[in-house]
Structure 1
Amino acid sequence: MLKKEDYEPGLWTEEKNLTVEETRLPFTEELAGVIPQPEENREIPDGIQVVPAQNESYQNFIIRYSRNVDGAVNYESDRSFQIINELFGVIYIPASQVPESVINSYSYSSVPKCYTYMDQGGLNASGINRLHEHPYLRLRGAGTLIAIIDSGIDYTHSAFRNGNQSRIVSIWDQSLPSGESEEVPYGQVFTRQEINRALQSENPQEIVPSADINGHGTRLASIAAGNRNLEEGVSGAAPEAELVIVKLKPAKEYLRELYLIPPEAEVFQEDDIMLGISYAIKCALRYQKPLSVCVGLGSSQGSHRGDGPLSQYISSIADFTQNCVSVAAGNEGLARRHYMGLLDEKTTSDILELRVGAKEAVHGFSMEFWGEASDFYHVTIQSPTGERLQVSSALKYGTQELSFVFVETKVMVNYVPIERRSGNTLIFFRFLHPAEGIWKLETSGRLNSSARFHVWLPVQGMISEETYFLESSPEYTVTAPGDAVNGMTVTAYQYRDDSLYSKASRGYNTDNVVKPDFAAPGVDMKAAASGPAGTYTQSSGTSLAAAQTSGIAALLFEWAIIRGNEPFFSGNSVKNYLRRGAVREEDMQYPNPEWGYGRIDLYHTFELLT
């Protein structure tokens, strides 16, 4: 066992000195010494319990439990610890036992980040229709599964059923109160039999009480795998694939408070997304079918180098046979929410100008500074009135409170000189009641050194358009988990004139790994609407491009695995086939930060195979 002196300051309390055997929970490098004490589940009517994953009195941490410091232990999931896969797990700790300065006390990557939606007839452009109707191939996704990890689905929509028979094999609604279930750790699961019974009833919600209030998940599902509708002139990319739906529960309130997310924003937390993907993989194993996962969500939190838990989890999936993940690149290209600076012998200091709008003056906002670890960064904050306060680089184990005299603003700062997962410097800012106007951050480094740094504001939906950098950079704006090295990161273009979606995020990731990988149609796309039965709507965004790509991946799985042409086809195989068949303009160099390897053309991919 480790002793008190083996832990970092702030990570040890005497009452938590329990053995692994007593708790069955892992000591890990992220959460060394912090073990949750038993607390009773809170009950709601009808005897249903709110488990720690849904209980606001617990905080969640994503850990790499196989790297524990106490030797090999056989772990099992229980109400305080949930296994995602052989590397990642989620530990639930009572909020009363979590140190106040959570950013400094734990590895920042262990704190779940918050994600939101990445959107606001392209089948011919992607070469899909020709394969639907090809006299020999006739690829439509038969025998495959597509998983949508999002806001749920309108399962009554005609796009997802044949008469009263649903094409959805399972819905896991994480937001519903939990009953006793061995299948999922919280929420409720509805089978195809239950969905079919609901479709045949006068009030479907009485049998399957799961709905897509936002409609985002319904749109993605219809673009990926919706039925052909000749009257509307629409079809999903894989209209004969079956669907696994995960409706994510809203992020917990403590995370919204930590990241100062406005109350109206719909956001989801990282560990729920990971558990949703894990559930989809288990469904694919049960039904013995290849799986294509769509994640149309994004976040600008983290170092943008693919080292966050969700990004690493997605990368690991691509290595295995019969699984792939399509991810939205994000819509941050023109949002002016990224700043890039370079300190060298000629430029020893850099001044960033940040315009703060009226909405943020009420709710506040968070901001992340990430600098290359080769340097120490000295940062001074200047308010719109000219008052200057310096961030201490020495107080690395506590939260600094910078209180301005001439404006009623406090800036809470966590300075992490070497963030444990990335190795880079992280400065995490929380602006409380910031004054409207132009704020400045002056950054300097050591003499005779060279280092690059990035500053990101939250993505659209978590901050208003009135708050932005005056001199922003569209580069390095691909959102997480689009920075995942082995994931299929998809940007969007207008298929009618082959122009890039103006709001699309630009690559690469900050390790200069090529992102996005390629482009798919994602502008003015017609998709099923949640609500009145059978209606359709138009929307744009990179999440729609990711949805079509997930359907395209299902077609490749049908050809490779279901028909036996390539029985060990993996997520990396799908990505490399699509890269090879992508359409490229003669006067442009590829790969590039806007288009990756070009526009997806599945028919061209098959032409190259022959």
Structure 2
Amino acid sequence: MLRAEDYEQGRYEEKKEITVQERNLWETVPAQDENYQSFIVRYNQNVEGTVQYESDRTFQIIDDMFGVTYVPASQVPEPLISSFSYFSVPKCYTYMDQGSLGASGVTRLHEHPYLKLKGSGTLIAVIDSGIDYRHPAFRNGDRTKIVSIWDQNIPGGLSKEAPFGRVYNREEIDRALSEENPLEIVPSIDESGHGTMLAGAAAGNGIPEEGFSGAAPQAELVIVKLKPAKQYLRELYLLPPEKDIFQEDDIMLGISFAVKIAFQLKKPLAICIGLGTSQGSHRGEAPLSQYISSVANFSQNAVAVSAGNEGFARRHYMGRMGENKQSETVELQVGPRESDLGFSMEFWGEAPNFYNVVIQSPTGEKLPVSAALKRETQELSFVFVETRVLVNYIPIERRSGNTLIFFRFLHPAQGIWKLEIEGRRGSIDRFHIWLPVRGMISDGTFFLEASPEYTITSPGDSPDGMTVTAYQHRDNSLYIHASRGYNTDNLIKPDFAAPGVDIKTPLAEPLGGYGNASGTSLAAAQTAGIAALLFEWSVIRGNEPFFSGTSVKNYLKRGAVREENIQYPNKEWGYGRIDLYHTFELLT
């Protein structure tokens, strides 16, 4: 077995038996290597008893529950999706977007003669596409407000700061800002501009001449630029190659990085997650959702998560089996883009029912899905259309106990496909089918009779994270694309609403300047900034030193604005519209 000392300077030339390929294999970081696959594991649940684990190049500890193991692709057995592996295979996430601060009561607190809350002494972490650190919203001359940037995409091995990629600290960023070409020193950029927008909405400097300010303009920033999802995951889930898509384990490692930075600096931390996926059971059981709940329960940590923009995207179907109804037909329109690229889809049927499924093509040809091939991938090949459907039928998914059927349509014919669903028991149970979220599938593929309910994206289904929907602050109307609750365990989600329509945000180069954007991820960013203001009042000023993310959520619930003619909590607004000023009014 190769050892680290085999590659000490001067020794490589002496060991002639070690090939160049072996040396490259050692130097390549598995997390960034397409020849390795990632699995999220609960490493502390060991049947052999207590084991001392340490992070290395093939295993990374996230917290005391979760870790990521990297396995050579050649050693991964088929099928990748099974009852045992579904939970561990990283899911894929993308952006939840397409004069707002006054509506949240933030501006009045910035200007209040006694409170003057602006986030001083706090940290806000944005786990997203990176940041344009050169933008005036994040600098004062040659001084940055960014504590650290972890760029997961820049090649780099395990270091004391991060398991892979490259970390740039405040001193390096300041030095870059003082140079004519900053990117020669800190070459981290935000290609999509999404992370820059979120960081600006949460903690951008107040710039009066632009009429702009982040929710917590004196908070400092921790930035994680996520690397793109690996090709094997894109192929597994049949995701478009040109889209910005990120994988679950990298997001979890990004959160862990931010938590460690906050611990080292002894500062309270608000985390913004503006990403989402429709994969999973929507019960808050995915590793990322569970990890967010764990982080939010710690003192001086809060996590704001976007609710998603899937409300009227027509990518969710809900059916119900009953005593007098044991079958249902689902109609699915497949558009031209998916006819070329294919797509994946997940069926989740509630226990204790079991489900039979027959797939009908647009030409009327029917093929049944076998419920007997539990650990094998079924291939359904249609004769009259050049379509194959790969199916993994999991009668009892290990985490939820529900039935999972994972579909992959390869070159599906355009037109209306039908799924004939039949329950095998007389119980009253629901089933759900989710297509991928916007950005992972075109608008030309949708259910003809879709349901806007239960469209909160993961990790917005996390029980203890703050799930935030968006509204138009000018007329107090709900954002038209906002996802609706609850989660499938009927846990109240979203928790509340924040402004998220036509929000003024900083724009990354090459655009630069400022522009308007909409989406629930911007509402989550503002909420992260609002959490920082609460941390300034509670922790920094000593009013509530052990304030946690759960505390922040409960305070914001209590102060939320509710209309008299609407019953709360509800599936659209949660507990109402955030009003931090009203929260402080109630405290006094």
Give the TM-score taking structure 2 as reference length: 0.96
Determine if the alignment matches structure 1 residue 144 to structure 2 residue 122: yes
Superimposed CA distance per residue, residues 129-162 of structure 1 (whole angstroms, 9 cap, x where no aligned partner): 0000100000000000000000000000000011
Percent identity, aligned pairs only, is 71
Number of the residue aligned with 2:198: 220
Cα distance in 1 for partners of 2:231, 2:85 equals 20
Number of the residue aligned with 1:271: 249
Number of the residue aligned with 1:191: 169
Superimposed CA distance per residue, residues 103-151 of structure 1 (whole angstroms, 9 cap, x where no aligned partner): 1163311100000000011111000000001000000000000000000
Is 2:87–2:286's contact at 8 Å kept on the other side of the alignment? yes
Q: 1:453 aligns with which of 431, 452, 473?
A: 431
Number of the residue aligned with 1:591: 569
Is 2:348–2:402's contact at 8 Å kept on the other side of the alignment? yes
Cα distance in 1 for partners of 2:90, 2:81 equals 11
Amino acid at match of 2:424: R
Q: 1:329 to 1:388 in 2, by over 3 A?
A: same
Q: 1:107 aligns with which of 57, 71, 85?
A: 85
Amino acid at match of 1:81: F
Number of the residue aligned with 2:275: 297
Cα distance in 1 for partners of 2:424, 2:514 equals 57
Superimposed CA distance per residue, residues 178-208 of structure 1 (whole angstroms, 9 cap, x where no aligned partner): 0452211100000000000000001111100
Q: 1:432 aligns with which of 410, 423, 439?
A: 410
Q: 1:534 to 1:433 in 2, by over 3 A?
A: closer
Q: 1:332 aligns with which of 310, 333, 336?
A: 310
Q: 1:285 aligns with which of 236, 248, 263?
A: 263
Number of the residue aligned with 2:134: 156
Q: 1:505 to 1:180 in 2, by over 3 A?
A: closer
Matches for 1:529-548 after TM superposition, within 5 Å: 529-532=507-510, 535-548=513-526
Amino acid at match of 1:235: S
Cα distance in 1 for partners of 2:85, 2:268 equals 35
Number of the residue aligned with 2:531: 553
Cα distance in 1 for partners of 2:256, 2:46 equals 22
Cα distance in 1 for partners of 2:194, 2:503 equals 13
Q: Alignment partner of 2:210: what SS?
A: coil
Q: Alignment partner of 1:109: what SS?
A: coil
Determine if the alignment matches structure 1 residue 82 to structure 2 residue 60: yes
Is 2:29–2:157's contact at 8 Å kept on the other side of the alignment? no
Q: Alignment partner of 2:290: what SS?
A: helix
Cα distance in 2 for partners of 1:57, 1:380 equals 36
Is 1:49–1:178's contact at 8 Å kept on the other side of the alignment? no
Matches for 1:397-476 after TM superposition, within 5 Å: 397-476=375-454
| 1:265 shift after superposition | 1.4
Is 1:158–1:534's contact at 8 Å kept on the other side of the alignment? no
Number of the residue aligned with 1:120: 98
Is 1:157–1:533's contact at 8 Å kept on the other side of the alignment? no
> Aligned residues, how many?
571
Number of the residue aligned with 1:356: 334
Cα distance in 1 for partners of 2:429, 2:221 equals 47
Amino acid at match of 1:262: P
| 1:42 shift after superposition | 7.2
Number of the residue aligned with 1:27: none
Is 1:99–1:105's contact at 8 Å kept on the other side of the alignment? no
Number of the residue aligned with 1:61: 39
Q: 1:482 aligns with which of 440, 460, 465?
A: 460
Cα distance in 2 for partners of 1:366, 1:532 equals 35
Cα distance in 2 for partners of 1:371, 1:109 equals 16
Superimposed CA distance per residue, residues 22-64 of structure 1 (whole angstroms, 9 cap, x where no aligned partner): xxxxxxxxxxxxxxxxx977749xxx93300010000000001
Number of the residue aligned with 2:319: 341
Number of the residue aligned with 1:608: 586
Number of the residue aligned with 1:25: none
Give the TM-score taking structure 1 as reference length: 0.92
Cα distance in 1 for partners of 2:542, 2:22 equals 49
Is 2:293–2:462's contact at 8 Å kept on the other side of the alignment? yes
Q: Which moved more, 1:230-239 or 1:443-452?
A: 443-452
| 1:532 shift after superposition | 4.5
Number of the residue aligned with 2:362: 384
Superimposed CA distance per residue, residues 291-326 of structure 1 (whole angstroms, 9 cap, x where no aligned partner): 000000000000000000000000111111000100
Is 2:55–2:61's contact at 8 Å kept on the other side of the alignment? yes
Amino acid at match of 1:602: L
5+ residue gaps in structure 1?
A: 1-38
Determine if the alignment matches structure 1 residue 578 to structure 2 residue 556: yes
Is 2:354–2:425's contact at 8 Å kept on the other side of the alignment? no
Is 2:96–2:520's contact at 8 Å kept on the other side of the alignment? yes
Amino acid at match of 2:497: A
Superimposed CA distance per residue, residues 560-586 of structure 1 (whole angstroms, 9 cap, x where no aligned partner): 000000001000000000000000000
Number of the residue aligned with 2:374: 396
Q: Which moved more, 1:360-369 or 1:229-238?
A: 229-238
Is 1:41–1:52's contact at 8 Å kept on the other side of the alignment? no
Q: Alignment partner of 1:366: what SS?
A: strand
Superimposed CA distance per residue, residues 42-99 of structure 1 (whole angstroms, 9 cap, x where no aligned partner): 749xxx9330001000000000111122211000001111000000000001000101
Number of the residue aligned with 1:211: 189
Q: Alignment partner of 1:557: what SS?
A: helix
Amino acid at match of 1:251: A
Q: Alignment partner of 1:553: what SS?
A: helix
Q: Alignment partner of 1:124: what SS?
A: helix
Q: Alignment partner of 1:184: what SS?
A: coil
| 1:383 shift after superposition | 0.2
Superimposed CA distance per residue, residues 233-255 of structure 1 (whole angstroms, 9 cap, x where no aligned partner): 11000000000000000000000
| 1:466 shift after superposition | 0.1
Is 1:42–1:51's contact at 8 Å kept on the other side of the alignment? no
Number of the residue aligned with 2:6: none
| 1:263 shift after superposition | 1.1
Q: 2:234 aligns with which of 221, 232, 256?
A: 256
Q: 2:469 aligns with which of 478, 487, 491?
A: 491
Q: Alignment partner of 2:171: what SS?
A: helix
Q: Alignment partner of 1:428: what SS?
A: strand
Number of the residue aligned with 1:374: 352
Is 1:41–1:50's contact at 8 Å kept on the other side of the alignment? no
Number of the residue aligned with 1:244: 222
| 1:345 shift after superposition | 1.4
Q: 1:105 to 1:609 in 2, by over 3 A?
A: closer
Number of the residue aligned with 1:231: 209
Superimposed CA distance per residue, residues 471-511 of structure 1 (whole angstroms, 9 cap, x where no aligned partner): 00000000000000000000000000000000000000000
Cα distance in 1 for partners of 2:398, 2:243 equals 30
5+ residue gaps in structure 2?
A: 1-19
Is 2:57–2:158's contact at 8 Å kept on the other side of the alignment? no
Amino acid at match of 1:308: A
Amino acid at match of 1:453: F
Is 1:491–1:545's contact at 8 Å kept on the other side of the alignment? yes
Number of the residue aligned with 2:10: none
Amino acid at match of 1:415: Y
Cα distance in 2 for partners of 1:42, 1:337 equals 47
Q: Alignment partner of 1:108: what SS?
A: coil
Is 1:365–1:431's contact at 8 Å kept on the other side of the alignment? yes
Moved over 2 A (4+): 39-44
Determine if the alignment matches structure 1 residue 91 to structure 2 residue 61: no
Cα distance in 2 for partners of 1:89, 1:376 equals 33
Is 1:58–1:92's contact at 8 Å kept on the other side of the alignment? yes
Q: Alignment partner of 1:67: what SS?
A: coil
Amino acid at match of 2:169: T
